[in-house]
Structure formats: structure tokens, C-alpha cells
Chains A and B, each alone.
Chain A
């Protein structure tokens, strides 16, 4: 082995035995550190995968949704506007959407009721999302009563429970035939919740939107770009989800690094003195401290990231479940597709490994620079 490599190896050996000498303290430290990295990495993985998924899925969403505002509120709109909108140049397809929310008084969950034109969905039958089936403890073929606007229950036969992999978009869905939705909510024929518009050329969307507003001044068009941006903003680095966890994790990390940076125990100082007195250079002492810091922080980084990956992509981010659940009763279960971003992993690396290693090096600097004879005079 080359001497320079041998030197690193010997110093690493001693760094490890130094760490082992304060076994309890260093193990606790590594554990806490791993936990911080684990939480941060879980969050980054989770949010990144959700963001990616939102982008991929909403790619197929309607290019534009047109709502009607009445007295400052979103209100059902005349379905006849579909015809007028279809005539606008560039509009490929326009369709009335009929949907709404339903509060299930028995299980206390909020459901999204949606009408589908699918010919296989007969009136009187329903497709339900996995989350609904789980909450109501029902399966295909069962009958479900939904309370109509007048308080009378309407029975639906569950024709299909939507596939497991669709929970991310459809956990709380109850899909009914349009006539059933109207009957349930007392929505008169001729009114729709909103309109979904598809354009031939997405670049014409802005023009189409302004034409719609011109035609119907009470309309509010929502472009797909805006929908996407809503999710980009929600899952942004600075977005709500990130800030909540990030702030607490970084804060605890700063406290931890501060404690480390300010305190060099008398024992450690003495030891540096001894090393200097027996022929270690300042550079050797700093190399030792570098290895001590690097071993702990690298182990914590790799361990934390690996655990986070398992947590988010194999165990469906179980620890975040409570945060995501909030007060909701119906909670989607989904298995995310990993969308790792080299940039974010690198940022995580520099946010965790570098400050810690620096925090171990800096306080030793002065001690390492002291004259070797200080050990003799103590």
C-alpha cells in the first residue's frame, strides 16, 4: 500500500477507536443524525414523487375547466354553454362535468360524487374508489344507500371497486350515472357543475380562455397550467409541506451542530495536545477530526437516505400518514413511483454532511494549531 493511503488508513483506524471510546455518546449522536436525515430524505422523496406523479397525471387532465361565478361563489352553470364554447375556434372538445361532494353521516367521511357518461355504468349502480370501499366496508355486488337531498336514501349497487393503483386520484370517488347524480343532489337537468374543455393546440388556450370570458363574463376559466402550478407550489421546496418539516428538522440540526461546534471537551483538548507532542502535525490532527466527522456524517447520510427510500417507496410513507390524514376520515393508500432527483440528493448531502464535518473540524482548529509543548506544561 502507498504511504499516503497507509497514513489515511492508520488515522482512520485511530479515528474509529476514538469514536468507540465514547461509544454511547457517538452512537446516540449518529442515531439522532440518521433520524434527521431520514425525516428530511423521506420528505424529499415523498414530495418529489408526488410532484412527479401530479405532473404525469394532470398531463391527461382537461386542458381547461370553466366554472361559473355567482355572487362571488362557484355555482352550477347552464350546460347549454357547452355548445357555445364548442363553436370557439381551436376548441376540440367541450363537455359538461357533473360532480359534487357528499358527506357520509355514518362513517363521517367526505366523498366526491362524479357522473360518468360511460355506457357500461347503468343507472342505479356505482363505481367506488378503494378508500370508500374500505371505509364503508363494502365490496363489489353490495348495495350502498346514499342520502338524497330530501333525506331519503337512494340505493346503489356497487358494480366495480376501482383498481388499487388508482387510489392516488380516486380513493374517495363515487362514480354514478348522470341521472343518478342529478337525483341525489337535486341538480336540475340543464345545469352542470363545470365544463371541461380540450383544445387542439394547447398554445391557443389563452386565446380560447379570453374568448370564453368575453362570451360569458361570469365564467372563470382554469387552465391546466394553473392546476399544475397549484401542485408545483404545494410541493415546492418553499411550499407548505416542505416548510413544516424542513424548518423543525433544520432547527434541531442547527442546535445540534452548534452544541458540537462550541464545545471541545477538556479531554479532547488534552488528547490533541498529546498527539501533537508525540509527533503529529496540525494537519494530521485535522485529518483525524475530519475522519471522525466524515464517518459519523456519511454513515448517517447513507443510512438515513436508504431508510427513507424504504419508508417512502416500500412502506408507503407510513410515518407521514398522520400528517397527511389531518382530520380527514377517508385516507388514500398509494404506493409511489420513485422519482429521484440527483439535484435534491446532492443538496441533502451538502446540507447534512458538510456542516457536521465542518462543525467537528472548526473547534479543533485552534487546539491543533497550538504548540506541541503545551502538553508538557499541563
Chain B
């Protein structure tokens, strides 16, 4: 599904204190499975996730995506596998919106607006019909047991509830791939177990899951098909 070849990401390149967060990573992430990136903080997990999720470009190396939904890009740019590192921002955003759902460590909800609006937010620039989006958002939130909180401002939610909103938001465009960065960092064990249960459901529905975590509940879970250990920007062990 996702192939990385010699991927390097250096921040502040050219400045006095360059910092290489990811250093020559080769990976092959299979589709329809749960892959866990394991490693201490600062090992380059988050950077790797943002590279895979088309949020930033590698300094060097190539990333190929297989099996993208057709019709995503203008004719000519469409290919399989698609090499994403050289695409312009507009195409990257389109791919990101349609292919990846992100669940952030800090949840990244917009404060002051309602749960429903937060979930609908990613669709605003697409010009999709509002009613259709709203219906979809309500369905997603109901499925996550958040029906009571539709109109509540996100500031009043508990950590677990906020994460459910973030999950609903990640699912709003029905992406084939879900990327989560330290999803259990702010949850207690019960909530973490519930989260993994949800991930199990998504996997069952055929989605590809990619989770960065150093929480044993995640990387020791029987749901994890593949655990990749990272340290200092490099893959230490991969099957």
C-alpha cells in the first residue's frame, strides 16, 4: 500500500543547527492491516507519519502510494503506484483529504465551536453539499456514542470524548488509511482499550491503520499485525 525508499527528513536544513528527524527509512506498509510504529519519543515516529500522510515532503527519498481511489487527480497525474514527493501542494492536499484520516496526539480540535462543526470542518473546502456532510457527520458521531454531544462546544468534553470527536473527524471523508499519533497518550487504560477495540472495528471494515505509539496497550495488542521499532530516525527492527 505505502512504500518508502531511502526517506530522509532534515529540519532547518542549511541553517546552523540542522536536525535530521528521519534518516534513510525503507518501509513497506501493507494495506488492510494494523501497523504500529514503536519507539521512544524523538525517534522520528511523528515525522514519519507526517511524511506518509502527505503533510510534509521528505528532504530526499521516494514515497509511493498504491491503490489510490481513481479520479483523484487530473488526467495524466494519475498513476499507480503514485510517487507523491514531487507533487504540488494542491494535489498533495487532495490526496491527503481523500486518502488519510488523522488522529492527533493533542486531538487538534478547534475550540469554541460545536462537536458537529469540528467533525464537518475538513469538508468545507471541498464544496460538498452541507446536508449530506452533516448527515454523515451525525452518523459517524452516533456510531461512536457521541449523539448527545452534537451541539456541545468541544471545550467541555473529557479526554476520551474529545478523542472520539477527533476520530469522527478523521473518518468524515471515509479515508482508506487512518493514521494515529500517540492516540492513547492522554487516555487511561480503560479508554485506551476501548480505542484499540475501535481500531479493530476499522481494520475489520478493511481500512489500513498506522499507529505511532510507545504504549504497550497498543504495540502488544493482538490486533497489531506489524510492529516497526524506530530509534534515532532509523528503523531498528522490521520483519
A interface vs B, CB < 8 Å? 1-7, 9-11, 13-14, 17, 21, 267, 271, 273-275, 277-282, 284, 287, 371-373, 375-378
Does A282 lie within 8 Å of B123, measured CB to CB?
A: no
Pull 13 A–B residue pairs with CB atoms less than 8 Å apart, ordered by A: A2-B127, A11-B125, A14-B117, A271-B110, A273-B108, A274-B109, A279-B97, A280-B122, A281-B89, A371-B55, A376-B104, A376-B105, A377-B50
Decide if A7 touches B49 in the complex (CB within 8 Å).
no
Complex Cα distance, B104 from A3, in Å, reads 29
CA distance A277 to B56 in the complex (A): 10
Contact with A along B117-133 (1 / 0, CB 8 A): 10001111111111000
Q: Which of A17, A277, A284 meets B108, CB within 8 Å?
A: A277
A376→B93 contact, CB < 8 A: no
Is B112 on the interface with A (CB-CB < 8 A)?
yes
The reply to whether A371 and B56 form a contact with Cβ atoms under 8 Å apart is: yes
Determine the chain B residues whose CB is within 8 A of the CB of A2 once the complex forms: 127
Q: A17-B113, A378-B106 are in contact. Are A6 and B93 (CB under 8 A)?
A: no
Contact pick for B104, options A271, A275, A375, CB 8 Å: A375
In the complex formed, the residue of A with least CB distance to B129 is A6
Chain B residues, CB < 8 A from A267:
111
Closest Cβ–Cβ distance, residue A115 to chain B (whole Å)? 74
Q: Which residues of B contact A7 (CB under 8 A)?
A: 124-127
> B56 to A373, Cβ gap below 8 A?
yes
From A280, A372, A373, B125 is in contact (CB under 8 Å) with A280
Closest to A274 in B: B108
Using A6-B128, A280-B122 as known contacts, list a sample of 6 further A-B pairs with CB atoms less than 8 Å apart, ordered by residue number in A.
A1-B129, A21-B112, A274-B109, A279-B96, A287-B125, A375-B104
Residues of B contacting A282 with CB < 8 Å? 89
Contacts of A11 in B (CB 8 A): 124-125
Measured CA separation A7–B130 after assembly (Å): 9
> CB within 8 A of A6: which of B105, B127, B181?
B127
Residue in B closest to A10 when the chains form the complex, CB atoms: B124
State the CA gap A273–B55 with chains docked (Å).
11
Q: How far is the CB of A330 from chain B (nearest CB, A)?
A: 57
Residues in A whose Cβ lies below 8 Å from that of B89: 281-282
Cβ 8 A contact of B130, one of A6, A281, A373? A6
Tell me which of A6, A278, A373 contacts B121 (CB under 8 A): A278
Asked if B102 is at the interface of the complex by the 8 Å CB criterion, the answer is yes
- What residues on B are CB-neighbors of A3 within 8 Å? 126-128
Asked if B125 and A284 make an inter-chain contact with CB atoms under 8 angstroms apart, the answer reads yes
Contact of B93 among A279, A287, A378 (CB under 8 A): A279
B residues near A (Cβ < 8 Å) are 46-47, 49-50, 55-57, 89-90, 93, 96-97, 102, 104-106, 108-113, 117, 121-130, 169, 173, 181
Task: For A281, give its contact among B55, B56, B90, B110 (CB under 8 Å).
Answer: B90
**Lowest 10 CB-CB distances: which A-B pairs, in order?**
A3-B127, A7-B127, A373-B50, A21-B112, A373-B55, A279-B97, A284-B125, A10-B124, A6-B127, A373-B56
A375 to B106, CA, bound (A): 9
| Chain B residues near A372 (CB-CB < 8 A) | 50, 55-56, 96
| Minimum C-beta distance from A278 to chain B (A) | 4
Please, which residues of chain B bring their CB within 8 A of the CB of A1? 129
- What CA separation (Å) do A100 and B121 show in the bound complex? 75
Structural contact, B124 and A14, CB atoms closer than 8 A = yes
How far apart are A154's CB and chain B's nearest CB, in angstroms? Answer: 77
Which single residue of chain A is at the shortest CB-CB distance from B50?
A373
Partner of A17, one of B104, B117, B123: B117
Per the bound structure, the CA–CA distance linking A7 and B129 in Å amounts to 9
A275 partner residues in chain B, CB cutoff 8 A:
110, 121
Residues of B contacting A14 in the complex (Cβ-Cβ under 8 angstroms): 113, 117, 121, 124
Determine whether the beta carbon of B104 is less than 8 Å from that of A277.
yes
Contact between A376 and B181, CB atoms less than 8 A apart: yes
A21 to B114 CA separation, bound complex (whole angstroms): 11
Q: Tell me if B113 and A21 are in contact (CB < 8 A).
A: yes
What is the distance, in angstroms, from B132's C-beta to the closest C-beta of chain A? 10
Q: Which residue of B lies closest to A6 (CB)?
A: B127
| B110 surroundings in chain A (CB, below 8 A) | 271, 274-275
Question: Which residues on A sit within 8 Å (CB–CB) of B169?
Answer: 278
Q: State in angstroms the CA–CA spacing of A372 and B54 once bound together.
A: 9
* A277-B117 in contact (CB<8A): no
- Give the contacting residue for A376; candidates B55, B112, B113; CB below 8 A: B55
Known: A17-B117, A274-B110, A279-B96. A376 touches B50 (CB 8 A): yes
CB distance from A240 to the nearest CB of B (A): 48
Question: Considering the chains assembled together, what is the distance between the CA atoms of A279 and B50 in angstroms?
Answer: 12
Q: How far is B90's CA from A375's CA once the two chains are assembled, in angstroms?
A: 19
B211, chain A: closest CB distance, angstroms: 14
Bound complex: CA of A371 vs CA of B83, how far in Å? 19
Contacts of A281 in B (CB 8 A): 89-90, 93, 125
**A281 vs B88: C-alpha distance when bound (angstroms):** 11
- Indicate if the CB atoms of A284 and B128 lie closer than 8 Å: no
| Chain A minimum-CB-distance residue to B97 | A279
A282 to B88, CA, bound (A): 12
